[in-house]
Homo-oligomer: A and B are copies of this chain.
Amino acid sequence: MATVRISAAAAPSSFSTLFTHEKAGMSNVDKEKIKRIVYEMSKDSAHFKEQERRDQRVTEHINACRERHQRIGADELKSHEQRADRLLVELDGHRNLERTWACVDMDAFFAACEALEDPSLRGDVVFAVGGTSMISTASYAARRYGVRSAMPGFIAQRLCREAGVSLRFVPVDFPKYLKFAELARTAFRLFDPHFIAASCDEAFLDLTDYCAHHAISGAEAATRLRHQVLEATRGLTCSVGIASSRMLAKIASDVNKPNGQYVVPAEREAIVSFIGPMPLRKIPGIGRVTERVLREVLGAETCAELLAKRAALCALFTARVAREHLSALLGIGGEGPPPLQREGEPSQKGVSQERTFEPTGAPL
C-alpha cells in the first residue's frame, strides 16, 4: 500500500495558514478534518517551515503590541477612548448614504468558464482549475470538501479522496476567462458605463442613476443585473451586493453567493447591525496577519468586538490605520467616486513576471 495514512493527531490550533477561514460555499465543511489533513500533508514541507518562520515574526510583533497594551495606564486609555469617540462621531456625521453601489462578483469564475465550454464539467462535478501544484479556484461541488483557491492541488486531491470522491483538474486558460470577462462587462455597461473593474471577475457599479431613471429599488436593479450578466455570458452566474459604500457592497456580495444577492439598506441602523457581527477578516484589507494581530492583541474577532476596543486600537496603531479600521467598523469606505485618473494616464501601474525556483541553499 503506497498510501500514506493521515494520523489522527490534531493540528496545533493556532495555525492561520490551513485554509479554514470563511469562504463562500464552505459553510458546511468539516473544518477540523480539513485542518488536520492539510496540516498532516504540510507539516514536513519547506513551505511550511517558511510559513512558521514568518508566523514567528508576527508573533514577536504581537508580543510587543501586547506589552505596550499592558503598560497603557487607565488615564491614557481614557484619553484614547475620547479621541476614538470624537473620530467616530466625525466619521458618522459625514456618512454618505446617497449613492447605491453594487459589487458584482462572478461565481467560481474560472471554473464556471471551463464548465461553460466543456459539458462534461456541468452539474455537480468535483473539479478544480489548476494543477496538482496549485489551484486557482474550484467548483462549488469541490468546495464542499474544503478545496479552495491557493490550495496546493495534491492536498485538495487528498481532501476529496478522504471523502471518497475524486477531484478532476482542468488547466488554467487565461485568454478564455478574459473573453468571458469582456462579455460580462458588456452587461455591466448597461447599468453603469463608468463601472470600476476591480479584477477580471469583479466590478463596482454606481446604480444610483440607473435606479432613479427606472424608478426601481437597488434589489430590483441587482436582479436585473444578474440576469443581464447571465445573458451576456450565455450562462455564467454572479453574485451581487448592494449598499451605500463599495466596502459594504463587497462584503454583501459574498453573503448569498453563489448566484445570489444581498442588500444592505442605506440606513445607519441597518448598516451597523450588518457589520457588527462580521468576522474582522471580512473587511477588505484585513488579511490573515492583521486578523491575528487584532485577535491576539485585543481579543477582537468581530467588528463589534473591535469597536468595543476602540481605545486600545487608537493607542496601539498609527492614526492612519486606526482611522481606516474605525471607518470600516461603521460600514464606511468607498462612497464617493473613485479618484479621477488624469487624461492619458495609464490605468495600470506596473507589470511583472515572476517564477518560483528551487531553494538556493541554506538561508545562513
Contact = CB atoms under 8 A, between A and B. Distances in A.
B357 A2 contact: no
Interface string A1-39: 010000000000000000000000000000000000000
Interface in A223-259: none
A168 B357 CA distance: 23
Contacts of A217: none
Contact of A166 (B2, B166, B168, B357): B2
Contacts of A355: 355, 357
Nearest to A171: B358
Interface residues of A, number: 6
Interface in A257-292: none
Main secondary structure of the interface of A (DSSP, over half): loop
A357 B2 CA distance: 32
Contacts of A166: 2
A123 B330 CA distance: 68
Contact of A168 (B2, B132, B168): B2
Interface in A122-180: 132, 166, 168
Contacts of A2: 166, 168
A41 to B, nearest CB: 16
Nearest to A355: B355
A333 B168 CA distance: 54
Contacts of A132: 132
Interface string A328-359: 00000000000000000000000000010100
A332 B357 CA distance: 43
Interface string A34-78: 000000000000000000000000000000000000000000000
Nearest to A167: B2
Interface in A163-221: 166, 168
Interface of A: 2, 132, 166, 168, 355, 357
Smallest CB-CB A-B distances: 5 pairs: A2-B166, A355-B355, A355-B357, A2-B168, A132-B132
5 contacts: A2-B166, A2-B168, A132-B132, A355-B355, A355-B357
